[in-house]
Amino acid sequence: MGGFFGVISKKNCTKALFYGTDYHSHLGTKRGGMATVREDRTFARSIHSIENAYFRNKFEDELEKFDGYAGIGVISDTDAQPIVLHSHLGKFAIVTVARINNLMDLAQELIAEGVNFTELSSGSINPTELVAHLITKKESFAQGIAYAQERITGSCSLLILTEEGIIAARDRYGRTPIVLGRKEDASACAFETSSFHNLGFSIERYLGPGEAIYITADGFTQLTPPGKRLHICSFLWIYYGYPSSFYEGINVDDVRYRCGAAMGKRDATPLDCVSGIPDSGTCMAIGYAQGKNISYRRAVVKYTPTWPRSFTPSNQHTRDLVASMKLIPNNSLILDKRVAFCDDSIVRGTQLRENAKRLYEYGTREVHIRISCPPLIYACPFLNFTASQSITELITRRVILEFEGDTKKNIDLYAASHSVEYQRMVNRIAALLSIKSLMFNPIETLIDAIGLPKEQVCTHCFDGSDMGE
């Protein structure tokens, strides 16, 4: 995933840019970058690895170099950015939150036309650089952004910093968000609304799908009107979003609470208490407790002093160790108890199986797992949430392969929450995780909790729908 923040002010914007970008750190663990325009119209830029450090620790000592009135920053789980380009449209910096499935096809097309790319150390092409080249094929930023959106298969939201202002453009189908903020002497744009509150910005409005806006310190001018088709990612509310953030005016924690409350009301399982797997499972658990009328307890706590976020160690063994070290069971609350643990989703099932094992070792009588969303059956082609080397990394597909001898056979039945195949799959996953019982929310409950029409929410990873092309 990733997230970005842009600000343009009548005063120095450095601190607002620094803190606004840092507020997106929960969205990525690979790289952070910032770029500003100084008063003499020169650009300052830095990119740092944040795989084993905090964004703020990497940039704090060099803030003086970012002296300027306008800037953009990014937390990226993919490529190094911002990219700074000299072009016939002028000098500009660009950041993206994107997944470009036809990256190599587009790159080869551009190379054949004489465009050059700076090869990354990995030997791959930088997606943000590709987007910049697509944009500069046209005679204006508005035309270029529209062209890039038409050519890209996948998703792409972006910010462009020019010598005069900032351009914000949301993904063609609005799969990722952009929100505009205002205060007396400045304008801002961000992925997360939670980045605004402590910086004094109020939410002005949300960009529509495919909409492009030109931003100055005095306000906003529309470059491209929004399209009619919205397919915003449901995982923004389930997992990615910070609890205090809003998408399309809908608060993240409100959705998680409603998911939990709905499940609690329909769950007849005898239980002593419910706990959340922090962080994204916490508010679901509070809602579940309300819906089922049982106690919410912090039976598992997250150790935050040294591991506040999930840094990405270089090998799987270390990643698994860090994941287990972050969560500490509370013996007093789980000993000989029947406990439901709420979590956002199950992808591979590896960490959840290890967590359940440890909970039993600490004396839990029964471990029940409650998941706020439906089972993940399809890999995400838009946001990299379930990007993997093989579809069988998804625990659902491994179970389908076990039952059917084919990962795709009868897949529609396994995705249907009222089918025999679905219940058989859920029971098998529970057995593989060594837990007493397992429940997922159906798509209908998730959509009700979000509050948008089904056709405006991307649920592809659950039911294979919404390719949007």
% residues pLDDT > 90 (the chain): 79
Question: Given pLDDT bands bounded at 50, 70 and 90, which one contains residue 1?
Answer: confident
The span from the first CA to the last CA of the chain, in angstroms, equals 21
Q: Is the distance from CB of 35 to CB of 82 less than 8 angstroms?
A: yes
Distance from chain centroid for Cα 214: 25
Q: Under DSSP, is residue 47 helix (H, G, I), strand (E, B) or coil?
A: strand
- Tens digits of residue pLDDT in 327-345: 888 889 999 999 999 999 9
Q: How far is Cα 225 from Cα 291, in angstroms, rounded to an integer?
A: 42
Residue 311 reports pLDDT greater than 60: no
Q: How far is Cα 362 from Cα 335, in angstroms, rounded to an integer?
A: 7
One-letter amino acid identity for 416?
A
Which of the pair, 350 or 456, is modelled with greater confidence?
A: 456
Q: Is the pTM of this model over 0.85?
A: yes
User: Tokens at residue 413, please?
Assistant: 């039945």
Domains in the chain, CATH or no CATH each: 2-230 (3.60.20.10), 254-463 (3.40.50.2020)
Selection from 423, 417, 430 nearest residue 366 by Cα: 430
Report phi then psi at 256, rounded to 5: -65, -40
| Confidence at residue 383, expressed as pLDDT on a 0 to 100 scale | 84
- Tens digits of residue pLDDT in 100-143: 999 999 999 999 999 988 876 567 889 999 999 999 999 999 99
Average pLDDT score over the chain = 92
CA triplet 231, 236, 237: central angle to 5 degrees? 110
One-letter amino acid identity for 407?
T
Which residues 6+ apart lie within 8 Å of 117 measured at CB? 107, 110, 111, 125, 126, 129, 130, 133
Residue 371 reports pLDDT greater than 60: yes
User: Tokens at residue 148, please?
Assistant: 């890039």
| Confidence at residue 387, expressed as pLDDT on a 0 to 100 scale | 47
| Confidence at residue 279, expressed as pLDDT on a 0 to 100 scale | 84
Distance from chain centroid for Cα 359: 28
Which of the pair, 451 or 318, is modelled with greater confidence?
A: 451
Residue 95 reports pLDDT greater than 90: yes
Give the burial class of 40: count Cβ atoms within 10 A of its Cβ; 0-12 exposed, 13-18 middle, 19 or more buried.
exposed
Residue 386 reports pLDDT greater than 60: no
Give the burial class of 128: count Cβ atoms within 10 A of its Cβ; 0-12 exposed, 13-18 middle, 19 or more buried.
buried
- Tens digits of residue pLDDT in 10-61: 999 999 999 999 999 999 888 999 999 998 889 999 999 988 788 888 998 8
Alpha-carbon separation of residue 134 from 92, 103, 149, 456 (angstroms): 14, 11, 9, 28
Residue 388 reports pLDDT greater than 70: no
Spell out the SS3 assignment of 230-247: CCEECHHHHHHCCCCCEE
Distance from chain centroid for Cα 130: 22
Which of the pair, 290 or 467, is modelled with greater confidence?
A: 290
Q: Under DSSP, is residue 274 helix (H, G, I), strand (E, B) or coil?
A: strand
| Confidence at residue 127, expressed as pLDDT on a 0 to 100 scale | 94
- Tens digits of residue pLDDT in 140-170: 999 999 999 999 999 999 999 999 999 999 9
Question: Given pLDDT bands bounded at 50, 70 and 90, which one contains residue 78?
Answer: confident
| Confidence at residue 305, expressed as pLDDT on a 0 to 100 scale | 63
With the C-alpha atoms ordered 254, 256, 257, 262, is the resulting torsion angle positive or negative?
A: positive
DSSP 365: S
Give the burial class of 52: count Cβ atoms within 10 A of its Cβ; 0-12 exposed, 13-18 middle, 19 or more buried.
exposed
User: Tokens at residue 461, please?
Assistant: 């990873």
Cis peptide preceding 225, ω within 30 of 0? no
